[in-house]
Amino acid sequence: MPQNSRYHFRAITRADYPMIRDWLNQPHIGGWWGEAALEIALIEEDLENGPTDMRIVELAGAPFAFVQDYPAHHWPAPQYRGEAEDARAIDTFLGDPAFLGKGHVQAYLRQRAEELVAQGTSTILVDPNPNNARAIAAYKGAGFMPLEDRICEDGDRVLVMRYRQDAAPFQKEKAFAQSVC
């Protein structure tokens, strides 16, 4: 994992849509996110007035990933029932394939989670598809610990994971995640 990397999380703008569209059409994203046009429409819906904080992740000025966080209880999300009222949920994808396999996902997720904790958020959650081993390994490497499989609002199973500041990345998952994320 990159050490002492400082990622920049800049607010998304409409000018980013072509780049996000290209990223969503990358083979390594296939199947885990929706069609690019649908995802862009959802971003547009929230861009100016929604509760979602959407960011482009940059390293040394180079944009390479998308990350968003939002109040976990804003929408009907049964997978987050029982979690803290101030809980925030994170979704992300690494778009630029040149950054794959270098541990960036774990590093920028940990940095982003720490920023949210510093802002006073008590609970940070993710909910990957239980079959997405690559994402689960990356989340574990960033400090997210699995809670349990739960059913989300559309009836699909998800693995709810909670960020723990004291969680040491598991070496096995870390090595796997670095090879594929």
Domains and CATH numbers, the chain: 8-180 (3.40.630.30)
Dist. CA 8–CA 57, nearest whole Å? 6
Ordered per-residue pLDDT tens for the chain, 181 residues:
344 458 999 999 999 999 999 999 888 887 778 788 888 988 888 887 889 999 999 999 999 999 999 999 998 899 999 999 999 999 999 999 999 988 899 999 999 999 999 999 999 999 999 999 989 999 999 999 999 999 998 899 999 999 998 865 544 344 444 444 4
Residues 6 or more apart in contact with residue 16 via CB below 8 angstroms: 56, 63
Dist. CA 93–CA 96, nearest whole Å? 9
Task: Looking at 50-170, list the stretches that DSSP marks H as alpha helix, in order from N- to C-terminal side.
Answer: 104-118, 133-142
Which one, of 69, 89, 93, 70, lies nearest residue 79 by Cα? 89
The DSSP H or E segment spanning 102 is none
Name the token pair of 73: 């209880």
Phi, psi of 65 (to 5 degrees): -150, 165
Do residues 135 and 32 lie in contact, with contact meaning Cβ atoms separated by under 8 Å?
yes
Dist. CA 148–CA 160, nearest whole Å? 6
Q: Rounded to two decimals, what is the model's pTM?
A: 0.85
